[in-house]
Chain A
Amino acid sequence: MSTTETVNPTQEERVAQRPSKAYLIGPVLALLSIPAYLIWLDVPRLRSTALQSFALMIAGTVVSLMTLKTDRRRRAKGAAIGTGGFLLLGAGMFFFAAKLPPPAGAPEVGARVPAFTLPDQSGQPVNLASLYQRGTTLLVFYRGHW
């Protein structure tokens, strides 16, 4: 018998007695989806799809469910339910709460745009026709800043 064989069991016993914190990995992964979304807000593809956030929420839910196989404590079950619920909430907010009203009579491709004149940031009136008559114009409506 070597010394390592006599030492190892006691180490393992100590590890087994220590309450496992593994059940926290899933919720932490899922919560990271929020900063992951905010960090890449300027990347149109990630802003539009939130791929990175859904990947983290799904990974967190899978990890939580796997943890349940070895950890049957109530806190582990709570963590799994919370993580799965967070994924459903995130999907609900992303796909349904953020839905915009469908365009009502917006000019179709081929149709003429309505004429308008609006003040620019200096208060100078700008006529849309004066822009597109000079060349192809990209007109952008955005939600404003706040």
Chain B
Amino acid sequence: MIAVSVDAPSESRDVVERLDLPFDILSDVDAAVVRQFGLLHAGGNPHGGDTTVPAMFLIGREGEVLWRRIAQRIQDRPDPREILDVIERLTAAAP
């Protein structure tokens, strides 16, 4: 699992340390990768500037998208149990 945000690495380091996260957070400060993935939310950051539409992609070994979920509203959050179910189902079918 890997996360991406538009925060600077130092901000992400604070988040990783504070929440003791077992995964890394990548910094896409100019939202270039966010744009590549078609997820730009222009002016979506309350401090001004752009941010990302919240989204998740489950990626297979060939770089293919196995499953995706893209938020339609700011508050949309997929249930972790649903994500775990999807991962279990897909990895059981093709490990």
> Chain B residue with minimal CB distance to A104?
B38
**Which of B4, B36, B41, B72 is A140 in contact with, Cβ under 8 Å?**
B4
- Given known A-B contacts A104-B38, A111-B64, A139-B56, A47 and B77 have beta carbons under 8 A apart: yes
A138 touches B46 (CB 8 A): no
Task: State the Cβ distance, A97 to closest chain B Cβ, in Å.
Answer: 9
From B11, B25, B58, name the one whose CB has the most chain A CB atoms within 10 angstroms.
B25
**What B residues does A129 contact at CB under 8 A?**
63
A94 to B85, CA, bound (A): 28
Contact code string B1-16 (vs A, CB < 8 Å = 1, else 0): 1111111011111011
Task: State the Cβ distance, B90 to closest chain A Cβ, in Å.
Answer: 7
Query: Which of the segments A55-63, A83-91, A120-128 contacts the partner chain?
Result: A120-128
B55 touches A94 (CB 8 A): no
Give the contact-size bracket for chain B.
Answer: 35 or more
Which label, helix, strand, loop or mixed, suits the secondary structure of the A interface? loop
Asked whether A9 is an interface residue with its Cβ less than 8 Å from the other chain, the reply is no
A positions within 8 Å CB-CB of B: 44-45, 47-48, 50, 94-95, 98-116, 118-123, 126, 128-129, 131-133, 135-146
The 21 sampled A-B contact pairs (Cβ below 8 Å) are: A44-B80, A100-B72, A103-B70, A106-B55, A106-B70, A107-B57, A109-B68, A114-B33, A116-B32, A118-B27, A120-B26, A128-B2, A131-B2, A132-B60, A138-B83, A139-B57, A140-B3, A140-B4, A143-B5, A144-B7, A145-B7
